[in-house]
Amino acid sequence: MSDTVAPRQYVPLTCHGHSRPVPHLSFSPLEKEDVYYMISACKDGNPMLRDGQTGDWIGTFLGHKGAVWQARLSPDAATAATASADFTAKVWDTHTGELLYVLKHDHIVRAIAYPFEQSGMLATGGFEKKLRIFDLHDQKPAGSPTSADPTTTTPVTIEASRAFEIGEGVHKDAIKFIVWAQDPSVIITASGDTLRWFDLPSRRCIREVRLEGEIKSCELVSLAPTHSSPTDIGGGLPVLAVAAGKTAYFWGGPRVEDELKQIKLPHGIASVGLDLKGRKFVVGEEPGTWARVYDWEDGKELDVHKGHHGPIWSIAFSPDGNLYATGSEDGTIKMWKNCEGFYGLWRGGVSGNGTD
């Protein structure tokens, strides 16, 4: 099986353009003709949209007045949501770049999430220690964001008081990550060293798990339906990948509450990404600037990626699993090939043993 052969090194693509650290990046789902996008948050306050396969710059969303901590694309890739230190979350039209919604908060917004298959809802969290759900369906911006004249769009401002608060008073620390399970009634937060599962209909916390240290990354990993299979890690369902202390944690199932594995490493972990089909995972070491690749089955180190000049805060796999991206303190994004043959801007291998 090719997964057991010595890894083949490919030169990564480097995406420039940001002027400050990149704390978070994520991919859109796969669209028709295998098109997908990548969005990056940056402390320079200017989140960027890129072609997911090539890293080519598409546009920058201008308007935040503080660092942008997280950025995500909606399930239909029509909108992007950003969480900022300027006490707002914003929702943007990805085709025109126009601002659609301003979600006002009373403190720094660190985390934002769309439901797995629903583009009209958003969850936010941050230094207020409150998990909120905003329903955007009944508050449409004036004018059509896809009209020939995008200036007709007037953004809608929504006060935090208009949102639904979930698990009131439960969080003791700032909310750094929010994950919406494939089951839309379950939402997970990462706050301090604790993961919490919430039941949305009752608005109650239904489970708490304390990890070995502060949670540094927490992401739902999934492949497009056309690329997933029952033999993947998680059996074809999304998997929750979490980095805390020196341990990578993984949960599966429709509500991502079944613990699949926890793997202790000899170093701290700033971020973790999971290759569901290739059965390996990638971590950003902490302290350090390298990405290390480990085998899912036995935790053996398979490869080391050097090139960043600061800690790697975010790792995300593309929806087809053919590449992954790393976002760093050094202000750059690197894209690493994760397949054989031609893909994106890669034309075959830099070095390869041709065993496939």
Beta-bridged to residue 249, according to DSSP, are 242, 262
Torsion of CA 218, 13, 52, 6, to 10 degrees: -70
Contact 37, 50 (CB under 8 A): yes
Task: Specify the DSSP class assigned to residue 348.
Answer: S
Q: Specify the pLDDT at position 350.
A: 42
Residue reference for tokens 């601002």: 99
Residue 225, C-beta contacts closer than 8 angstroms, at least 6 positions apart? none
pLDDT digits (tens, 9 = 90+) for 228-284: 999 999 999 999 999 999 999 999 999 999 999 999 999 999 999 999 999 999 999
Q: Specify the pLDDT at position 308.
A: 96
Task: Classify strands 312-317 and 301-305 as parallel, antiparallel or unpaired.
Answer: unpaired
Q: What pLDDT band is residue 340 in, cutting at 50, 70 and 90?
A: confident
**Rounded to two decimals, what is the model's pTM?**
0.91
Residue 91, helix vs strand vs coil = strand
Query: How much is the CA Rg of the chain, to the nearest whole Å?
Result: 19
Task: Sketch the domain layout of the chain as residue ranges.
Answer: 9-337
Nearest alpha-carbon partner for 112 in 129, 93, 102, 126 = 126
pLDDT digits (tens, 9 = 90+) for 81-93: 999 999 999 999 9
Amino acid at 178: I
Beta-bridged to residue 94, according to DSSP, are none
Q: Specify the pLDDT at position 141.
A: 77
CA 282/CA 303 separation, integer angstroms: 9
Reading phi first (left if > 0) and then psi (alpha if -120 to 50, else beta), residue 58 is in: alpha
DSSP secondary structure letters along 257-287: -EEEEEEE-SSEEEEEEEETTTTEEEEEEES
Specify the DSSP element, H or E, that contains 104.
Answer: strand 99-104
Q: Across all residues in the chain, what is the average pLDDT?
A: 92
Q: What pLDDT band is residue 10 in, cutting at 50, 70 and 90?
A: confident
Q: Which residues of 88-102 are buried (b: 16+ CB within 10 A; e: fewer)?
A: bbbbbbbebbbbbbb
Q: Specify the pLDDT at position 124.
A: 98
Q: Specify the pLDDT at position 17.
A: 95
Superfamily of the domain at 9-337: YVTN repeat-like/Quinoprotein amine dehydrogenase (2.130.10.10)
